[in-house]
Structures are given as C-alpha cells and as structure tokens.
Amino acid sequence: MTRAGRSELRRAFAAPRPAAGLVSEFRSVGGLRTHTRRSAVPGRADPPVVLVHGLAVSHRYLTPLAATLSAHHPVYVPDLPGFGLTERPGTAYDVAGHAAFLVDWLAAYRLGPVCLLGHSFGAEVAAALAARRPDLVRALVLAGPTSDPAARSRRGQIGRWLVDTLREAPWQGPILVRDVIDARPWRVFATLSHSVRNAIEEDLVRVTAPTLVLAGARDPVAPADWRAEAVRLVPGARAVTVPGAAHNVVTTAPDPVADAIHDLLTPEEEELTSCVSGTPRSGRPEAGSAAS
C-alpha cells in the first residue's frame, strides 16, 4: 500500500476523533442516535454541502471529498440509519424511508436549502428528497447514480460492482470491509433489494434544482448511456465525467469533484471567467459536456 493510501485510511477511520479538518457529532434523529461527520470550521461560502453515502458504506469513504470541500463550504456527512456510527434500526430503510430520515436530519441541524450530493444508492435517496422537498435543495449532484434500468436486478448490480472492484484503488478495500461489518451484510443486501425496486426516473423528472450528473469515465455501475438518460430526464441538468476514475469517483478524485460542485454553485463566476478567457476553467469540462 502506498503512503498516500495509508494516509487516506487513517483519515477515513479517525471518527469520532477530529481529523483532516473534520469532527463528529451525535444527535437524535428519527429516534436514532445519528452520527454526522462535519467540517470543524464553517466554510466561507453558502450553501452547506451535504454528502449522502451509498448502500454498503458510510461517511468513511467520503472523507477525502469532505475534507477538500470544507475549505470553502460547510460540509456535513451523515451516516444513514444502520450504517457507519449511526444506531442500527431493526429494519433496512428503503429509498423513501432514507429520504424522510434526511428531512428530519436537516431539521435537526436547521439546514436548508442545501447542496445535496448523493453517490450511488445515495443518489437515489438525494433524488427522492429533491423531488419531494424542493424547498430543502438548492442544488443537486448525482454521482454515479444507481440503478441503470439495463441492470436493475441484484445480480446485475452485483456483477457491475465486481467489475468496478478491479478498477478501484486497492486501499479502499479495508474501508468497505469495515462498513459492511458495521451495517451487517443482511442490511446491505436488503438495501440493494430496495435499490433495484426503486424507479429513480420517476423522481428525476420532478427535480427542479440545478443538477449535475457526475461520474468517473471508467464507472461500470453507472455507465455513460445511463448517465446521459439521467441528464435528459432532469430539466437543465449538466454532465461532468472525470477521466480515469471509476465508480468511487468521490473517493479517488476529490479535487475535480469539488471543482465541479463549486462551478455548479457559482455559475455567474464561471460564465464571467469563460467570457474573459474565451475558454472554460483549466481542467474542468464545459457545462453540458463530458470529458473523457
């Protein structure tokens, strides 16, 4: 394992201790003792950015992105019910249940409207929240959203995730193992079942917030054709593809992901820069296009 990988693991496993400019808080939300990893010092710019993790993971793998974003924005990474350091309920929540939980979580923190980023299954939850409570969502980022109708089954999704494991940085393995142990395998499997029964398209067409569909160019879980369809379904949505990254783009490419979020939240600045220079900002794809 490289030195960089060991450093990322130390930061990912630090909670509830402070690390990388992040601290932990526990509050009661929906009757559950809920863990949130957040920026220790409020960022300089609004809105707050809330990161929603996927179905087998927790705040841990989002630590690189949270630390990067916290330089400019207040950042919050809640562990969903049963995941990470949040109390485990007796059942596995479906997409609607997780969205309702996040509504209560936002109320507990007196937040909203926020920039909401959901990754993988978290994108399904974020889309459901944005569709049902547009007043709480100023901007939406769907990172590697599941699930592609072409593989909307447990077998189809597991097969794509197995392919993805061959494309990811190996240092992420211990994080996944710890997160699955914390959540319990039955909860992960049950949440996967909820995911493949969720028609995210029905929520995407109802989203009104400025939306970015973001993914790694080598993502087999949310392939290019499905992402293009997601962009088409959300009015005015834009696409950004990060070269070289796979499904866990939020972990392995925090800088370009943070740049894309910043551009989504500051369109006037982006437009002015483009007009002055005649080109988009270095290293960032143009709005509505995807780099490869």
Helix H or strand E segment including 84: none
Whether the predicted pLDDT of 64 surpasses 50: yes
Q: Which tens digit of pLDDT belongs to each residue from 202-225? A: 999 999 999 999 999 999 999 999
Tokens matching residue 54:
């996927």
Distances (CA, A) of 250 to 46, 60, 103: 21, 11, 23
* Per-position DSSP letters for 86-107, written without gaps between them: S---SS---HHHHHHHHHHHHH
Look at phi and psi of residue 31 and say left if phi exceeds 0, alpha if psi is from -120 to 50, else beta: left
CA distance 1 to 202: 42
Helices (H) and strands (E) in the chain, counts: 12, 8
pTM for the structure as a whole:
0.91
The crossing angle, in degrees rounded to 10, of helices 173-183 and 185-196 is 90
Helix H or strand E segment including 34: strand 32-39
Q: Which tens digit of pLDDT belongs to each residue from 273-292? A: 443 433 334 333 333 333 32
